[in-house]
Amino acid sequence: MKPSLQTKLFVNFMVVVALILAGFAVGASALIRQYFLTAKQQELVGKGHEMSGVLNDFLTGTLSATELVELVDRIDGFLDARIWAVDASGRLIVMSSTPQRIRQERQGQSPGTSQGLRAGQGQGLGMGEPGQIIMGPGGQPATGDGSAAEGGGMRSSTAIRNLIKNIQPVFGGKVLTRTFFHPYYGEDMMIVAVPIVGTSGAINGAVILNAPVQGVNRFLTQIYMAIALIGFLSLALTLFVVRRLSRGIVKPLREMEETAASMAQGRYDKRVEITTEDEVGQLGSSINTLAQELGRFVAHTEHMEKLRRDFVANVSHELRTPLTIIRGYTEALQDGTACGADQTGRFTKLIVSETERLERLINDLLDLSRLQARQYVMDVEQIPLTEVVDSVIAMLGEKAANKGIALSWRANNIIPPVPGNGDRLVQLMLILLDNAIKYTPAGGKVSVELAREQEDVTLTVTDNGTGIPPEDLPFIWERFYKADKAHSRTNHGTGLGLSIAREIIDRHGAKVNVESEPGKGTTFVLQFPVGASQVK
């Protein structure tokens, strides 16, 4: 099983963060260690220079042995560094006591294996014993005869001599700083050796400061533990953030996948839940838009396919019925079934009527096809709608009167001309008024009103006829729409009039609104722009 995208993101993020934290920890540790070691070295070098001045005072007799021992012990405790002093020949002058030995002496305890007493107490001291004065001013033993240099301190004299050999450059006036395993104390120590420069510029010896690294290591260990704790907490926080982040990325991607799969199966109602405005959110929004547009497109395609099927069915029906009638009556006339002048005349009249019906249907179909063709360009001029309405009222006045319908019109104010095609506007008025008369019963009224409203001219056609059911109102502009679902032949319309009217309205850049209530009538409101021509 292949790992999921969420797993890949999670693992990669965690690996990167872990490497960054590890690199930071290693780098920070190295920098901190180097910082503390460097600071310790600088501190020891500074104190070494101060001690070299003190040793000059001792070598010239200005400072007593007791004062020197107390001073080096005090500085030892302050620096946590063992202080040695050697003369120019490499012989040990003084070495400080460890803090533990000083505490033992203050408590009256035996210091251990060393039997020598502190300098200034009148006893000879062995070489290498802490807190001892080996040589006094002028190169003479400070106390006793110094013979112990070959005695009890022999066990460490070799280690001391080896250390002094390693710092020979200090007798040339150089300051040495090194860190290595100390042969005398048996642990890693930082060694700083500073030359003792006399007033004449001669090198009288060296001050050696031996600082245990263990204390620095203990401090660094605490720092490492703090870094490790911070790293662990950072890793835990990163784990939480990365899980949320990966989920935030993967969840919408899964929803996008499901939405795409639904679209592939022909379902366009599923949507991606958008919770962010970043790139992922924008992608989800785009997929939602795609699903919505595809749904509309498919619905429109299905609707157009239905219209095509209905169109073919309606055309077939509209053509078949008159052709059947014409053929039947023609055969009756041909085979002599029709007898008598009255019957022959009636059959002939029906044939002519159905032929005219076919002619109207074909003309309407050609008209509709021509209007729907974008390459068809109409001649445009400024058309006075008052003259158009007056002309159409005159044409249909007799038809309305014969049916007992009152046909009237009026203009509320001065009506400016509108850009358009005169023949098409006359055709539009004929369709609207003919329909109004057709569906208005005897004794009804049909009225036309023209009005100027800001930048538009409004044309209103109102009747108090049968009206249009609300469920049919959205479909009145479709081809072959008829309120009479049985396609009654009492009204001789082709069902294409309003489809042609809608095309004329659209080609003139006009707007139309229809209001109707069954049993109370219908109102068509058209708004024609007065300004620049919008005729297509």
Q: Delineate the domains of the chain, giving CATH numbers in brackets.
A: 48-214 (3.30.450.20), 268-376 (1.10.287.130), 378-529 (3.30.565.10)
51 in Cβ contact with 83 (< 8 Å)? yes
Helix (H, G, I), strand (E, B) or coil at 480: coil
Residue with tokens 């107390």: 70
Exposed, middle or buried, 39 (CB in 10 Å: 0-12/13-18/19+)?
exposed
Distance, CA of 65 to CA of 480 (rounded, Å): 130
Residue ranges in 96-212 assigned as alpha helix (H): 99-106, 154-166
* Cβ contact 285:252 at 8 Å: no
Tokens in use for 219?
Answer: 């401090």
pLDDT of 93 over the 60 cut: yes
Q: Which residue has the tokens 């729907």?
A: 372
Q: Do 128 and 148 touch, CB atoms closer than 8 A?
A: no
Query: Which residues lie closer than 8 Å to 195 by C-beta, 6 or more apart?
Result: 52, 170, 171, 172, 173, 174, 175, 203, 205, 206
- pLDDT tens for 423-451 read 999 999 999 999 999 999 999 999 999 99
Closest CA relative to residue 371, chosen from 535, 507, 498:
507
At 120, list the tokens.
């200034």
Main-chain phi, psi angles of 100, to 5 degrees: -65, -40
Phi, psi dihedral angles at 302 (to 5 degrees): -65, -40
Query: What is the per-residue pLDDT for 422?
Result: 93
pLDDT number for residue 100: 52
Banded model confidence at residue 483, pLDDT cuts 50, 70, 90 = low
CB under 8 Å, gap of 24 or more: what pairs does 186-190 form?
187/212, 187/213, 187/214, 188/212, 188/213, 188/214, 189/82, 189/213, 190/37, 190/40, 190/41, 190/44, 190/216
Q: Are 367 and 500 in contact (CB under 8 A)?
A: yes
Residue 314 has pLDDT above 50, yes or no: yes
pLDDT of residue 77: 84
- Spell out the residues 6+ positions from residue 73 whose beta carbon is closer than 8 angstroms to its own: 96, 97, 102, 131
Averaged over 483-496, what is the pLDDT?
58
Asked if the model's pLDDT at residue 3 lies above 90, the reply is no
Give the model confidence (pLDDT) of 370-415 as tens digits. 887 777 788 899 999 999 999 999 999 999 999 999 999 999 888 9
Q: Quick one: pLDDT at residue 445?
A: 96
3-state SS, residue 475: helix
Quick one: what percent of the chain has pLDDT higher than 70?
Answer: 85
Give CA torsion, residues 265, 266, 267, 273, to 10 deg. Answer: 70
**Is the pLDDT confidence value at 155 over 50?**
no
When comparing pLDDT for 116 and 130, which is higher?
A: 130
**Residue 486 predicted with pLDDT over 50:** no
Q: What is the DSSP string of 120-143?
A: TSS----TT-TTEE-S-GGGS-SS
Rounded-to-integer distance, Cα 274 and Cα 376, Å: 46
**Strand-strand pairing, 188-197 and 203-212:** antiparallel
Listed range (200-214, 298-312, 424-438) with the worst mean pLDDT: 298-312
Q: Which residue type is seen at 124? A: G
pLDDT band at 534 (very low <50, low <70, confident <90, very high): low
State which H helix or E strand residue 188 sits in.
strand 188-197
Task: Name, in order, each residue with C-beta under 8 angstroms of 150's C-beta and a sequence gap of 6 or more.
Answer: 127
Put residue 442 in one of left, alpha, beta given phi > 0 → left and psi -120 to 50 → alpha: beta
Give the HSE-up count for residue 48: Cα atoms under 13 Å, Cβ half-sphere: 30
Mark 216-241 as b/e (b = at least 16 C-beta within 10 Å): beeebeeebeebeeebeeeeeebeee
Mean pLDDT of 33-53: 88
Q: Please state the pTM of the whole predicted model.
A: 0.47
Mean pLDDT of the chain, nearest integer: 80
Bigger pLDDT: 495 or 229? 229
**Residue 77 CA from chain centroid, whole number:** 61
What average pLDDT does the segment 326-342 reach? Answer: 82
